[in-house]
A and B are shown apart, each in its own frame.
Chain A
Amino acid sequence: MNKIKTTKLLIASILMISLNKEVAMAKDNKIAEGTTIGHYQKPGAPVDITYHSTRVGLDEIADINISLITTLNSGEMEVKINLDDNLEQIGEAYDSVSFTLSPNQKSYNINLKVKSLKDGLYYIRLLAKVDTIGGAKMRALAVPVYVGDGKLKKKSNQKIMKSLSGENISISKAEETIEIIK
């Protein structure tokens, strides 16, 4: 029984690889993961993030597992969720989630499933807000989603040129007022 299952899976995999390069890349199941734990953080809400996801092909669902870690023992943690325009959320779509913090729990989990029809590096943006004795504090966090080629699509129209000294320069237009001086 197990042997038959394995054979069928192998045939299916070979067919998919030959049909679509992107799908083949998705089957690599390369893990995209990261954490802010141990890294410097600017002042703000005491919230760290750890995330795990797989690099996916076009139109393939990425399963994103996010853990938010805080040293706070009480109160609420409200998290707003904002997806890049090119990402589509699969299943129940929600744009915020709230957690009741407790002394027995340090990690609060969010699972999202997203897909995209376009190659690129996209982000799931989170904005965590907690109430501390010193007042409300926030921290912005982002989870990368690698689709297809997984490359950053530059959000810039600025001209890149080489200066005569060989440096790259990124030129943008100024708002200008020009007058003749008589």
Chain B
Amino acid sequence: MRNKIYILLISFSFIIIGCGEVTTTTTDGRVINSTSTGNDSSSSNNNTPSSITNNLDNSNDISDINSSNERLQIIGKITYDRVWVNSNGIGLNYSNITKEPAKQVIVKAIGADNQVIKSTTTDDNGNYSLNNLSSNTKLKVQVYAQLKKSGIGGWDLKVVDNTNGNSQYVMESSPISLDDNSLRVNLNAQSGWDGSSYSSERTAAPFAILGSIYQAMQKVLSVDSSATFPTLVVNWSKNNTPSGNGDEAQLRDGQIVTSHFDGENSLYILGDANSDTDEYDNHIIIHEWGHYFEANFSRADSIGGSHGDGDKLDIRVAFGEGWGNAWSAIVTDNPIYYDTMGRKQSNGFSMNIESEFTQNPGWYSEDSIQKILYDLYDSHNDGGDTLSLGFKPIYDVLVGSQKTTPAFTSIFSFITYLKENNPSAINKIDDILANENIESIQNIYGSTIDSDLYSDMSNGSINICTYSQYGRGNKLYNHRYIRFSISQNGNYTVRVKQSDGSNSDPDFSLYKTAPFINMGASEESVFGVESHSYSLSSDDYLLDISDYNNLRRACFDITVN
């Protein structure tokens, strides 16, 4: 019987026939090889595929594929174009595009009536196998930008277009007629770059993002095989621009402010060409996923806001951002963090997570935090760093004591618990801290380093001042932390009244510390005073006081009655 392969909707530009091999190149550049020897006895012993036009490997076992005429198979490899950064860390290098395996993505055989005939996932080499297919079947192979694995050690994430009905990205083959022979169908998601611009669909982008996240998940699983990853939706679109306020309507238009984790179950990733695209900026994807990890596996108390070199930050922001940067280097084992942007994605910047000069080193610096965390992890000794803990001890603290700490999550709580878990490494940990101008951390509140950072309220009242000398909002001392205890269950009113004028706008948030629960924020736009009533149980609490007006100095009488 003569073997046939029907490829529908294809305009053939030319056909080359030779030596029993048929190579067909379509007008859109696809190459179809059919080594159909048919009844040609001269090649009857040839039971392997013909040469393959790209460098895809043939790791699937195909020896038993055609044992039954009614039981056919489609095997193949799914890849995506990854565009690498230039060697100087600035700008994407479109001359350096590699085909990377799309790991663990969902592959479906879709029938002519759009029914799913078979479904599977690729392995870590991008290989897949759709088995037990009937002959005389018309189908397409679809690859979903989705990773889904149930049970312990599982995950559930997908990439959608937030500007297009949250539609999930799928790439598909041409229509295929599966007659009497099994097929190898290799599919590649292309970057869409034509040498000077993105002139066609950027099919690779969602798969590149999944590749980065999968790499991060594998790092977690390398130290905890039972880690199970909560549902995550990644919103990427070529319309996603660094603009807007981030409200829902703007997110649907692609105005996402920046690549970010939304604090719940979504990442938003920039994709606006000639402005800022992040799909190939591996460290950024992993950094933002690091915030998802912190929120779901550990605890993230960061209040967000803008941040940069030399900033003296609120301790929660410093730790969260330092963690994100360090995590991107830990996952990739590459301390060079890069962010590409600008016209033709040819611009950008890079920084060395381990050795970047720190303008204001200290416990309030995200640069210091990232260096400390990476130095604790890495095996490269430099400066005062002679410690190589690897990721496991860091992970154990993050998912353990750091998650339940009665203090705010900061370098103080993290190092305190790390020392508790690793007493033999205390001196070397202190050496790493000293590199960043931080004295030995002795407790979760950092009270031996800055005794004013947390204050204790006694007899139901205290006077505290906020300061904005280091900047507004999320900078150091704009927020002040107050500890207090409630001895009897009941209704209590927290009142914050300015004591040195009436031009501030005090706000506060209340937290129960064990277990750590956010009891809610009080953020009325009222000058001089803020109050709110809570039903409180007999427990310990943390109060976070701030002045929305960011006065250089504002002092407050705080009462809990």
Contacts and interface: CB of A to CB of B under 8 A. Distances in A.
Contacts of A133: 309-310, 357, 359
A138 B73 CA distance: 50
B367 A134 contact: yes
Contacts of A121: 253
A160 B343 CA distance: 29
Contacts of A144: 241, 243-244, 253, 255
B541 to A, nearest CB: 26
B188 to A, nearest CB: 4
B343 A82 contact: yes
Interface stretch (A15-23, A55-63, A149-157): A149-157
Given A82-B343, A121-B253, A156-B201, A173 B309 contact: no
Given A133-B359, A169-B170, A180 B34 contact: yes
Interface string B179-196: 001111111111000000
B308 A142 contact: no
A41 B184 contact: no
Interface string B200-224: 0101000000000000000000000
A123 B250 CA distance: 13
A119 interface: no
Nearest to B78: A174
Contact of B168 (A43, A156, A169, A182): A169
Interface stretch (B158-166, B403-411, B435-443, B449-457): B158-166
B65 interface: yes
Contact of B242 (A80, A142, A154): A142
Interface string A141-177: 1111000000010111110100110011111111111
A111 interface: no
Interface residues of A, number: 60
Contact of A179 (B49, B166, B173, B276): B49
A31 interface: no
B358 A179 contact: no
Given A43-B337, A157-B201, A181-B62, A36 B306 contact: yes
A82 B342 CA distance: 9
Interface in A105-129: 121, 123, 125, 127
A138 B348 contact: yes
The residue among A135, A158, A178 with the most chain B CB atoms within 10 A of its own CB is A178
A181 B143 CA distance: 21
B245 interface: yes
A178 B308 contact: no
Contacts of A42: 258-260, 284, 287-288, 339
B534 interface: no
A140 B52 contact: no
A132 B258 contact: no
Interface stretch (B25-33, B147-155, B420-428): B25-33
A45 interface: yes
Given A39-B306, A44-B349, A137-B308, A175 B29 contact: yes
The residue among A133, A138, A167, A175 with the most chain B CB atoms within 10 A of its own CB is A175
A139 B337 CA distance: 15
A135 B349 contact: yes
A121 B307 CA distance: 29
Contacts of A45: 308, 349
B491 interface: no
Given A154-B239, A170-B169, A172-B171, A41 B306 contact: yes
A17 B185 CA distance: 60
Given A43-B337, A142-B272, A155-B239, A173 B170 contact: no
29 contacts: A34-B243, A37-B306, A37-B473, A38-B473, A40-B260, A40-B304, A42-B284, A43-B366, A46-B309, A82-B275, A82-B343, A127-B347, A134-B309, A135-B349, A138-B348, A138-B349, A141-B243, A142-B243, A144-B255, A152-B254, A172-B169, A172-B171, A173-B172, A176-B173, A177-B186, A178-B33, A179-B50, A180-B35, A182-B36
Interface of A: 34-48, 71, 80, 82, 121, 123, 125, 127, 132-144, 152, 154-158, 160, 163-164, 167-182
Interface of B: 3, 5, 7, 28-37, 46-47, 49-50, 52-54, 56, 62, 65-66, 73, 75, 114-116, 142-144, 161, 163-174, 176, 181-190, 201, 203, 238-239, 241-246, 253-255, 257-260, 270, 272, 274-276, 284, 287-288, 304-311, 321, 324-325, 337, 339, 341-343, 347-349, 351, 356-359, 366-367, 471-473
